[in-house]
A and B are shown apart, each in its own frame.
Chain A
């Protein structure tokens, strides 16, 4: 339909005039909701950055723009040797856990998806059921395990609960469902063993899922607080969130320093997201192609 309305004038000549666009209330509401959602998402980040630029005396003011912006907090945090150590701990733990989860989750997901063996469904249900147990309930058995294996206050102790995730197994299994068996059988005929088939043929076909899982696992471990707090004792073993929470003294919490550390710590998460995001988008685009 054209948006141009044609109507006769008093002189009998046709007059063309652009008709006003009908107001689409649904669209307006959608935009308003999106705007509100955007505000809810962005405001905490905006406040984090704003607070990181404030002097201590201004921290409890709700103004978004600091009266006297300063980078002193950044200089203080970056000059504090502990920050680099926590940052390194977080990088090592989040990276190692992500690589491990990608490897094991996809291996187990692939096995549960592509191999028929007695008890397969039972194993899958057992893995899935662990998703229903909250972390708060698991920390005690984790702690006892760590204690008996001598893993307290070590990288291994912080990492072991996340080396394989039930969610990742579920996600990868679902994605492997979309890989046709013919690909795997063709590789089998071409002489590859089962591990090679998984690694060479199946894994490249689920790259978007791997990218999504990498983002989830990395962010999850980067921001993990409760378990690292419980399992670590020495300041050197702290991860970034645990270390940042300790800024300040017993009398006062140095929010401006915590927010500064938090602002710096978002940089790796942004990098991870930007790196893996293109794989997700490419995967979606490839899936849409037809022969």
Chain B
């Protein structure tokens, strides 16, 4: 187990800077997930931690050691790759044992360790098989096994579930979480899937364009997004954003609805989660026509065309409004998020 800290971490490719001074501390035993759209710099950050990319500026520390110039093998880390990176010409046993190649353990101890890991991952019966004879989930387990066998200070996962189908992804998500609970290692996990981030992380790091947008617990980033990007990125469906004008104690929404809300005077963006926006009989914030419904079983998502644009709300699964129906949408004032319209930063 180990602590990880990134201090003013910069990455440049030629004249192009892709990471602009990342600061982050990961506590011992913490499960941190980097999430963000493609090209945000999350995988680059992970690869720099692993030692697979050179550091252009700043500092990476694992425990008390600055590892900027250390080879990957000297960093006491293990990494699981998106495409598993298990060697097709080796059996499962050899693949798992591969992580111990440069270890000074006795041969018998290595064999015992491989058996232990295989047992932990429920792969004992597959030890002599080649990867071609395994399913996607089993291959990913082998990749995790190869990482586990070395008992590293830090686990790095680079989008390890992206190649799996939805059902297997859910299952592996759970297994990785269990692994973390049992082993207690420090884990840095990269994904572009916000559901993965929300369900697995102790803390989420949301990135965009080489900058950290927000770091917080899943609850925190969901309930208190730092800006409109985080507000839109975290949560499915995305948060509804409404352009409005504030007079200081009143916010006027499109459709001329006035809401008693304390916000800085001037143009603001109001954010409402679809979970918090529901059809109401009267006194709604917005009025509009239902354009699409998506039944989810217990609830139904409704897409409503309003003067503020298309809003997504949740309605009862038993008696949802019908397409074409006129509805009023209401929310608790406490559930409204207010952002500065120019900077996009949260003001409440």
Q: Could you list which residues of chain A lie within 8 angstroms of chain B, going by C-beta atoms?
A: 180, 182-183, 185-192, 201, 204-205, 207, 286, 289, 291
Contacts and interface: CB of A to CB of B under 8 A. Distances in A.
A204 B94 CA distance: 14
A291 B136 contact: yes
Contacts of A207: 89
Chain B contact residues (Cβ within 8 angstroms of A): what range? 20 to 34
A185 B136 contact: no
A182 B79 CA distance: 10
Provide the main secondary structure of the chain B interface: loop
B85 A204 contact: no
B85 A185 contact: yes
Contact of A190 (B83, B89, B102, B132): B102
Point out which of B82, B85, B139, B146 has the most chain A C-beta atoms below 10 A from its C-beta.
B85
6 contacts: A182-B83, A182-B85, A183-B85, A183-B87, A189-B51, A190-B146
A62 to B, nearest CB: 52
Interface in B228-280: none
Contacts of A189: 50-52, 72-73, 77-79
A175 B103 CA distance: 31
A183 B146 CA distance: 13
Contact of B82 (A182, A190, A204, A205): A182
Contacts of A180: 83, 85
Nearest to A291: B136
A286 B101 contact: no
A190 B99 contact: yes
Contacts of A192: 73, 101-102
Interface in B119-136: 132, 134-136
A166 to B, nearest CB: 28
Contacts of A187: 98
Given A185-B52, A286-B88, A191 B101 contact: yes
Given A182-B82, A183-B87, A205-B88, A291 B135 contact: yes
Contact of B73 (A191, A201, A204): A191
